Structure 1
């Protein structure tokens, strides 16, 4: 008989059942009192001991024999690795880090690790890597994120930095909505599956229960290309909008408010600047094109009468306008956020309980829980003396165009020459776009280093692969923003094979390089240190000493509601509590943005035709608009080989959803294998036919492991959508990702179907 252990991940807290010998994971189960446990828990047991686990340090044979340098063969399906001992691997890596630093400087090291590898407060892969690189002199870093990269740059220009932080950390809550909101209008839907995920994890999933409660008293309208892109039990009204056209619909709603006398003129005069500029634009005084509902219907296929009626309903009561993160992850992605904020201002309800503007409902599980985030223990990263950085979505540009400049936030960034990239806890083959281009970029490196638990696509492109302990194989602390409990996460099983904690790896490397990573402490001592420092810090809740905390399994965190929201204080007294903008008010026209003179973004919200939409010239060849959503049964690409993720596959690979009319026109039926092509690449997918989509729209989930094992057929036989998506910034202002949708063509695949080899380890030799 085995034992049961509690653990935590970004998808929640759950129990694992350990085998009688204490080494294997038999099962993983949610807690019975979790109101909405994540299906991703079902991946844990089958993935833990999977054949794709990295068991020993491994070095790419060509790098080992030829030395560091660019290599177009990096990531080839037939590449071979040599398993080596830890001392050999660490000596090789320390020597390469020393070479790059001495010859090119620390700016030639890129500290990657954009990722979600661990929910732990100590064993957070990104924090540990950055701390290590800081101890040896720093690194070129990335800023912003793939989730909200466009918004994070845009919104401070419109509402100031403090209010931008509040939109994420102290938004209107679901309880506010239940009590005060008559109508919640959400552009991009309200996906239930996204609420299963919280950075750091939560003790229990509360967001969906709170949303259901709000749905009993609040009318919900979801505008999306997918009818099922919303909580099923909210009873939401669905309004179909073609992808990339939400901005046109929003501008038409503003047009109705203006022409029908429904705009809140007093609010606009008191709390905003630039309303007259917007008014002239939507009326057509600027370009001769009134932004009427009929105009928007021609662009979005949303009926004009529906738009007009919705505008009147929004003006009739307390309305909250929400934009999901996905809408800004596309070309012109700033515009729907800019336009929705403008719409909320014209309604005049920003700063009122349950009204105004929100950006994140349906995008993250901690959004809207209504609890002020308590301080949490952190592992200090030190200071990075290297000033160079890139927006995180510009990694391929960095490697392909060293020395060149790119525009960013009104200025220019010079791209440094990077020779070594060090990645831990993340998978750019999930987050990044145009994988052909990314592979060319990675081939330019002298050395690519990856820490991994499994032979992911990223590991299969690395020169040095170090096996690291998983969350189940080390002690840690866990909690997320707005959580109910700081949890002890004890090790459930010993590390797989020769895997080691990353803390140990960095300690060993730092010693070889004459640096101090660990400060004389092991990981258990650091765990106690960050806990005790947190416990003693001002503002921390009452908490017992570490030994008692560990024995009890955790400590309760305060459940204090949000207070002092920036918008509420601003509305109460704009002179005493101005926003952090040049005017101190909401900038519906930004003089700063207009002054940048950017070719693709002006001073107010505008409809500008993107290349990737159904009305563009490109659609003549690529006639379906593919939405690329986050998956429901895994977190990003994590544990794609697990049972829950595999249960969603069709024909052994990632499914492609098509409207019945689109499927019939292409001779496709449920279970068929389809060839999907874009201007960037191609893949195979299993067909699912559903009327939950608008005609002309297709949908796939992101995160299928990249499988280039049959290049004579397609770029990926397993259905990784990022072989299709464009690696282009949303705009020259933000340089964020544009991977949420892409134009494609879909046909029946007629040839022999190649097997999926994504979950097999590479060819492995040994130094033994």
Structure 2
């Protein structure tokens, strides 16, 4: 059953020469006039994202790449390992020379070593457009022209949970996209216990397009109705003020212990839902022996949890009683599993929801990462959207995405992943289009060493990011405003005709055009392009949507009609709660896709792997990276407010939030004052791996013992010739650890590490991150 809704959308104002466009952070319209680029948000958006204000200053910024460039050492000496990557200068060349050189190198790798020596690096956040989606374009090219590539699996955001959840509950897409909705929370939920929060800075962005930001309004409506929000986080801002949340500051990384203490209280006081556990779950008796201490001699009581997490036992017990017998929703953010043993809080949060008997109820149960991305908690579209086929990958090998430095530094060595012992391939060429690993990877000094051992690093980029500066061949790509596309998300009803707003910067070209000409040099132009221009591809990709609309008896415009009016509203399925609702209604007829068909509190499959750092049920495991006298603070390296990841860090909205050109860290007055640190000072944050400078905002909105510094400030080493240079701009990934969450999932652990902080009293180095290369 689905809604049927009309075609044009009144929120898209195309008067006065404005044209439709969209982004990961919201639908908007834009025009280029004498005063420069103007943008205005989608009028029907109740809470538009101000990140669109990065576009005007970014469009013609000096950091843009104007023409193809080759690293001097590669141009003069040819491919091969070189520790000058990131330190060498570049030589500007013509498109013909760049593509001839690259085509020759790709042919060499393909024909003499094979495609298994190529890593197709890309991340999916480069554009809301579904055709000029860099990840799809580069993978399609490598599959068709090279015969395949070594790929990555999972994401930096959800590396642990995306491996775990399908084995213990349901598919990752199902629990994030088809589970609890914001409408249900506003109407049904009595209490939300949010581990890591639901920060609006995260839900303001989405894969594909997003037309309406509803999270703030939904939480405000729920709060007015009487819903209570409880936030467990080191940051008060991880829930908006509209939620009226009670703020609990557990020691970072101890959420699993807190959850165990809550469940122990529920069981000890007979407040848990035994009937639900008996009917719907697998392995509760095994877990119960651990919870009560029967299996290891340590009851996981509220008192035990209090000593670990720093929240007193009385508060833990009271919280357990508040949850019992009510429509309770347990949410666990991405941030909790971006740390050592990140699988455990994800699993334990599900166990807590199961013990309360709430899983599968409207507005209740377990919502992993709700609030992490704008389309989570939304309805699902009832018609298909545009999707570019990527072809068949002839290489079976892959790595977990956060293990790229391990792979490059340790070819041929073994590692554990999802119950298997695998071997790292020997990669000679990395092709990166869409993404900036010097933003999302950890221990950047180690990453620099990893890239140094390649034969060739190829990067498509619109600006001189640190990744581009470490490349051998840099090909300038267009910004989204400089090309046509179709914006679409499977959980947003508004499909947007993304008109070109401006001509390409310098000699920049669309990724598709670059790959088409490269494919010709490798004898594969026709299979790559299928004989279509970019506009013809857009028409082709729109056709499945048009046919599906017509099949439902809805108005189905031609592509030209869609393009002229700028948008198309598509029908959405009415909320049904996905597989968890269906399982609750009939667990025998509609089992879950787990080995037992039930909610797996204990997983025999995971237990059989024998990995001590991820046993068969959730447990509390001590962390190896916690504060010490030499590094007494937790560093929380979370997502930024004023940009998506590191995108358009040189845009006006992002720059306005910096202080004296630096990214802004936050720390509590109780920590700052003994160190002589005042609001607005420049601080040096450091540990054994590296150091960076940041401005500081002293605030009681951060828990004591914590320093928070968002990711995304472009890596800016003061002296690139040093092995561990000081980043003067404030990139926290010079400090974070490059290890996996566990042998099971090998997810990213970049959220937490330990650091020392001091006031910086030296001469302040200039910011050069946005200078031309």
Aligned with 2:669 (options 655, 660, 664): 660
Q: Which residue of 1 aligns with 2:9?
A: none
Give 1:3 shift. Answer: 3.8
Q: Which residue of 2 aligns with 1:766?
A: none
Structure 1 segment 23-42 matched on structure 2, within 5 A? 25-42=36-53
The Cα offsets for residues 547-596 of structure 1, whole Å up to 9 and x where unpaired, read as: 11111112111133223621111111111111122221111011111111
For these two proteins, the number of residue pairs brought into alignment is 751
Q: Does 1:380 align with 2:393?
A: no
Structure 1 segment 540-689 matched on structure 2, within 5 A? 542-563=555-576, 565-614=578-627, 619-689=628-698
Q: Does 1:466 align with 2:475?
A: yes
Give, in whole Å, the separation in 2 of the partners of 1:435 and 1:584.
Answer: 42
Q: Which residue of 1 aligns with 2:197?
A: 189
Give, in whole Å, the separation in 1 of the partners of 2:134 and 2:600.
Answer: 38
Give, in whole Å, the separation in 2 of the partners of 1:306 and 1:722.
Answer: 35
Partner SS for 2:324: helix
Q: Which residue of 2 aligns with 1:15?
A: 29
**Contact 1:122-1:379 within 8 A present in 2 as well:** yes
Give, in whole Å, the separation in 1 of the partners of 2:516 and 2:593.
Answer: 42
The Cα offsets for residues 176-219 of structure 1, whole Å up to 9 and x where unpaired, read as: 12222111111001201111101012123233323322232221
Could you state the TM-score of these two structures normalised by the residue count of structure 2? 0.95
The Cα offsets for residues 312-358 of structure 1, whole Å up to 9 and x where unpaired, read as: 00003110111011111110100001111011111111112221111
Q: Does 1:433 align with 2:442?
A: yes
The Cα offsets for residues 391-439 of structure 1, whole Å up to 9 and x where unpaired, read as: 1001101111111111000002211111100001100011100000111
Q: Which residue of 1 aligns with 2:762?
A: 751
Aligned with 1:169 (options 170, 177, 196): 177
Structure 1 segment 85-96 matched on structure 2, within 5 A? 85-96=94-105
Give 1:371 shift. Answer: 4.1
Q: Which residue of 1 aligns with 2:155?
A: 145
| The 10-residue stretch of structure 1 (209-218 or 690-699) with the greater mean CA deviation from structure 2 | 209-218
Aligned with 2:342 (options 329, 333, 344): 333
Q: Which residue of 2 aligns with 1:349?
A: 358
**Contact 1:16-1:25 within 8 A present in 2 as well:** no
Aligned with 2:733 (options 722, 739, 744): 722
| The 10-residue stretch of structure 1 (527-536 or 121-130) with the greater mean CA deviation from structure 2 | 527-536
Give, in whole Å, the separation in 2 of the partners of 1:102 and 1:30.
Answer: 50
Partner SS for 2:257: helix
The Cα offsets for residues 290-313 of structure 1, whole Å up to 9 and x where unpaired, read as: 111121111111121111100000
Give, in whole Å, the separation in 1 of the partners of 2:16 and 2:571.
Answer: 35
The Cα offsets for residues 122-142 of structure 1, whole Å up to 9 and x where unpaired, read as: 100000110000112111100
The Cα offsets for residues 518-574 of structure 1, whole Å up to 9 and x where unpaired, read as: 011111111111112332258776421111111111211113322362111111111
The Cα offsets for residues 440-460 of structure 1, whole Å up to 9 and x where unpaired, read as: 000111000000111111111
Give, in whole Å, the separation in 1 of the partners of 2:382 and 2:631.
Answer: 45
Give 1:722 shift. Answer: 0.5
Q: Does 1:63 align with 2:66?
A: no
Aligned with 1:240 (options 243, 249, 255): 249
Structure 1 segment 375-454 matched on structure 2, within 5 A? 375-454=384-463
Give 1:483 shift. Answer: 1.1
**Contact 2:736-2:752 within 8 A present in 1 as well:** yes
**Contact 1:39-1:634 within 8 A present in 2 as well:** no
Q: Which residue of 2 aligns with 1:251?
A: 260
Give 1:620 shift. Answer: 2.6
Structure 1: which 5+ runs fail to align? 763-768
Partner SS for 1:403: coil
Structure 1 segment 196-211 matched on structure 2, within 5 A? 196-211=204-219
Q: Which residue of 1 aligns with 2:8?
A: none
Aligned with 2:331 (options 302, 322, 327): 322
Aligned with 2:220 (options 199, 207, 212): 212
Give, in whole Å, the separation in 1 of the partners of 2:382 and 2:130.
Answer: 15
Structure 2: which 5+ runs fail to align? 1-14
Give, in whole Å, the separation in 1 of the partners of 2:556 and 2:718.
Answer: 53
Q: Which residue of 1 aligns with 2:6?
A: none
The Cα offsets for residues 103-156 of structure 1, whole Å up to 9 and x where unpaired, read as: 210011110012411110110000011000011211110011111110011112
Give, in whole Å, the separation in 2 of the partners of 1:734 and 1:595.
Answer: 15
Partner SS for 1:204: coil
Q: Which residue of 2 aligns with 1:309?
A: 318
Give, in whole Å, the separation in 2 of the partners of 1:559 and 1:520.
Answer: 34
**Contact 2:459-2:467 within 8 A present in 1 as well:** yes
Give, in whole Å, the separation in 1 of the partners of 2:691 and 2:455.
Answer: 28
Aligned with 1:456 (options 462, 465, 468): 465
**Contact 2:176-2:377 within 8 A present in 1 as well:** no
Give 1:36 shift. Answer: 1.2
Give 1:679 shift. Answer: 2.6
Give 1:481 shift. Answer: 2.6
Quick one: structure 1 residues 285 and 390, their matched pair in 2 at CA, closer, same or farther if it must change by over 3 Å? same
Give, in whole Å, the separation in 2 of the partners of 1:96 and 1:433.
Answer: 29
**Contact 1:683-1:719 within 8 A present in 2 as well:** yes
Give 1:33 shift. Answer: 3.3
Give, in whole Å, the separation in 1 of the partners of 2:277 and 2:489.
Answer: 37
Give, in whole Å, the separation in 1 of the partners of 2:219 and 2:242.
Answer: 9
Give, in whole Å, the separation in 1 of the partners of 2:176 and 2:381.
Answer: 11
| The 10-residue stretch of structure 1 (747-756 or 252-261) with the greater mean CA deviation from structure 2 | 747-756
Give 1:642 shift. Answer: 1.1
